[in-house]
């Protein structure tokens, strides 16, 4: 199997941290993408100890961001997330990535100023850059599918995420390449190459686009190979751009959540091996 | 009320052509956006006679396209649609627009070559340009929201639609600016201005983006003012780009479909007047 798969906790969302670590280890997945909520449920110190004990790499922490309200609460919470990212990456096996995934946030209630919200994302990142640099953490802006622009993420394309990221040093601000969000983007390959030139690809996340879209579009993702995305082509572009980190499988899908985690982890490994054409 | 509202038949989809014409006239809407199916249900000659009798302008015919299968059937059907567009626009009141809205089509079954499908859209339009020019019809490429890229429309942004359109004369190939599809597009205002410079805005369609997204995303649209789109800003950009045609209200929404058509038409007029800041 590929030595670069990472199991993002969102794929087995109902599993607690211990169960998630166990599932990855059981099927031989060498890395895990962590989420703040299950980490908080056991406390950051215990979480770090368990991660160290697991021998797994940490490929990212999801998620900071939700900037568009521009509140000081959001800033304080993101600073905590930066510290957690540093702690967990330090606890992970060598090759762990101190990457904090940033979900930009949607429009504030009743606000239709999309351009203004997009500017606030940049302004809020500017506020966090010093803390991230001091902690050795990479802030990874995640462009989100335009169907989430109103209520979840106002940064809608990889090009747009790069325009923000490029205002900051590449060792502190990068981007997430998530196939589900950007597979449709015109000129995607060129944007991935652009991200690679500065070393801005902080995380590569894969899942597939299935149709018909399920009723809850937040849970609309499929296992690699089950949908319409040319995953080998995008993976090749990401590799050609110089990315050599872990490949996180992040699938929001209720059916998977209701399945026993080890079995989902097994399916994940099979799907990645059969679909991505990933270098080892 | 604004003298430039057009009622797109999709807003009152369950109404037949006679009912739709009646609804628009009853509430004083001066134009109608027609669909091929209800026209075909009475036959093109009868439809044209009824349109002439109604005194309404025709603002567009929906829809041709569905190119990505690249079949000769698709070409023949589009040629029929071009003829229908010319006939209906000629039957409409002065100021009618001989505009055929083109929905590009999704990926063919089992095909993941999005770039290839996008090229076929251009190739198929090239096949139709001569017929359209001869009939005095404008082919209007409709960029569709990226959530439809797999199964309905592979042209995902106004910029991308313009890249195709600009390969042909502006009096034959234009674009549709539909707020629902492109409100999130980075640099939208610049793209609208670009479309205007060549006179490529063949149709302006409005509806709103509501959250949470309904379970069937094809029926996800709201009445102007009910959602997150800054409709006055986009309308201003379209006007600044020189567009002076009708403003079609096209709302796919089951609740409206199940409401009495005259009452939906009334709500449409009120919503447009209250929201768009449309010049008269």
CA separation for the pair B247, A147 (Å, rounded)? 24
In a domain, B138, yes or no: yes
Q: Which residue has the tokens 């109902």?
A: A14
pLDDT tops 80 at residue B72: no
Q: pTM of the prediction?
A: 0.95
CA separation for the pair B70, B66 (Å, rounded)? 8
Q: What is the CA radius of gyration of chain B?
A: 17
Q: Per DSSP, what are the bridge partners of residue B153?
A: B105
Strands B221-222 and B208-209: antiparallel
Q: Which residues of A touch B216 (CB under 8 A)?
A: 215
Selected for mutation to probe chain B from A148, A184, A190 (highest B CB count within 10 Å) is: A184
Q: Per DSSP, what are the bridge partners of residue A100?
A: A61, A139
* Phi and psi angles of residue B190, each rounded to the nearest 5 degrees, phi first: -65, -35
- Residue % of chain A over a pLDDT of 70: 98
In a domain, A254, yes or no: yes
Question: Per-residue pLDDT tens for B120-141?
Answer: 999 999 999 999 999 999 999 9
* Phi and psi angles of residue B77, each rounded to the nearest 5 degrees, phi first: -65, -40
Question: pLDDT value at position A1?
Answer: 47
Q: Which residues of B touch A113 (CB under 8 A)?
A: 230
In a domain, B224, yes or no: yes
- Residue % of chain B over a pLDDT of 70: 98
In a domain, A110, yes or no: yes
Question: How many structural domains compose chain B?
Answer: 1
In a domain, B280, yes or no: no
CA separation for the pair A262, B121 (Å, rounded)? 44
Chain B: nearest CA to A191, how far in angstroms? Answer: 14
Binned at pLDDT 50, 70 and 90, residue B18 comes out as very high
Q: Which residue has the tokens 């009646």?
A: B22
Q: Which residues of B touch A218 (CB under 8 A)?
A: none
In a domain, A211, yes or no: yes
* Phi and psi angles of residue A241, each rounded to the nearest 5 degrees, phi first: -80, 0
CA separation for the pair B202, B183 (Å, rounded)? 17
Binned at pLDDT 50, 70 and 90, residue A279 comes out as low
Supply the mean pLDDT for chain A. 94
Q: With the CA atoms of A212, B161, A68 and A196 taken in that order, what torsion angle do they form, in degrees rounded to the nearest 10? A: 90
Binned at pLDDT 50, 70 and 90, residue B1 comes out as very low
Q: What is the DSSP string of A242-268?
A: T--S-EEE----HHHHTS-HHHHHHHH
Comparing CA positions, the residue from A191, A213, A211, A216 lying closest to residue A201 is A191
What burial letters (b/e) apply to A98-135, b meaning 16+ CB within 10 Å?
A: bbbbbbbbbbeeeebebeebbebbbebbeebeebbbeb
Q: With the CA atoms of A95, A100, A104 and A108 taken in that order, what torsion angle do they form, in degrees rounded to the nearest 10? A: 160
Do residue A216 and residue B215 have CB atoms under 8 angstroms apart?
A: yes
In a domain, B115, yes or no: yes
* Mean pLDDT of the A40-49 span: 98
Q: What is the CA radius of gyration of chain A?
A: 17
CATH of the domain at B208: 3.20.20.150
pLDDT tops 90 at residue B219: no
Which of B114, B186, B230 is nearest residue A112 as measured by Cβ atoms?
A: B230
Do residue B146 and residue A215 have CB atoms under 8 angstroms apart?
A: no
Contact status of A45 with chain B (Cβ, < 8 Å)? no
* Mean pLDDT of the B256-266 span: 94
Q: Which of A55-69, A237-251, B207-221, B238-252 has the lowest mean pLDDT?
A: B207-221
> Under a CB-based contact definition with an 8 Å cutoff, are residues B239 and B195 in contact?
no
* Mean pLDDT of the A23-38 span: 97
Which of A186, A213, A230 is nearest residue B217 as measured by Cβ atoms?
A: A213
Contact status of A119 with chain B (Cβ, < 8 Å)? no
Cis before B212? omega within 30: yes
Q: Which residues of A touch B218 (CB under 8 A)?
A: none
Q: Per DSSP, what are the bridge partners of residue B141?
A: B102, B175
Contact status of B190 with chain A (Cβ, < 8 Å)? no
What ipTM did this prediction achieve?
Answer: 0.93
Q: What is the DSSP string of B219-239?
A: G-EE-TTSSS--HHHHHHHHH
- Residue % of chain B over a pLDDT of 90: 88
In a domain, A280, yes or no: no
Do residue B215 and residue A215 have CB atoms under 8 angstroms apart?
A: yes
Question: Per-residue pLDDT tens for A57-94?
Answer: 999 999 999 987 767 788 999 999 999 999 999 999 99
Domain of B116?
A: 5-275
Dihedral of alpha carbons A155, A88, A57, A268, sign: negative
Helices (H), chain B: 17-27, 36-42, 44-54, 72-91, 114-135, 158-165, 179-182, 188-197, 231-240, 254-257, 261-275
> Under a CB-based contact definition with an 8 Å cutoff, are residues B74 and B124 in contact?
yes
């Amino acid at each position: 199997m590929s030595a670069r798969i990472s199991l993002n906790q969102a794929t087995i969302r109902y599993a607690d941290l211990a169960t998630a670590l166990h599932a990855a280890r059981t099927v031989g997945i060498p890395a895990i993408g962590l989420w703040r909520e299950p980490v908080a449920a056991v406390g950051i110190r215990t979480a770090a100890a368990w991660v160290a004990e697991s021998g797994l790499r940490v490929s990212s922490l999801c998620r900071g961001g939700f900037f568009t309200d521009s509140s000081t609460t959001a800033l304080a919470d993101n600073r905590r997330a930066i510290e957690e990212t540093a702690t967990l990456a330090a606890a992970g096996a060598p090759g762990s990535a101190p990457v904090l995934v940033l979900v930009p946030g949607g429009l504030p209630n009743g606000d239709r100023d999309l351009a203004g919200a997009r500017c606030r994302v940049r302004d809020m990142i500017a506020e966090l850059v010093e803390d991230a640099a001091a902690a050795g953490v990479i802030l990874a802006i995640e462009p989100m599918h335009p169907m989430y622009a109103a209520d979840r993420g106002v940064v809608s394309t990889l090009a747009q995420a790069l325009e923000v990221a490029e205002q900051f040093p590449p060792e502190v601000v990068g981007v997430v390449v998530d196939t589900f969000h950007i597979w449709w983007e015109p000129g995607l390959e060129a944007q991935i190459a652009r991200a690679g030139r500065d070393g801005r690809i902080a995380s590569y996340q894969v899942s597939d686009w299935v149709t018909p879209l399920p009723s809850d579009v937040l849970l609309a993702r499929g296992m690699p190979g089950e949908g319409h995305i040319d995953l080998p082509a995008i993976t090749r572009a990401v590799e050609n751009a110089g990315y050599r980190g872990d490949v996180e499988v992040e699938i929001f899908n209720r059916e998977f959540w209701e399945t026993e985690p080890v079995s989902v982890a097994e399916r994940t490994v099979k799907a990645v091996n059969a679909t991505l054409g990933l270098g080892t």
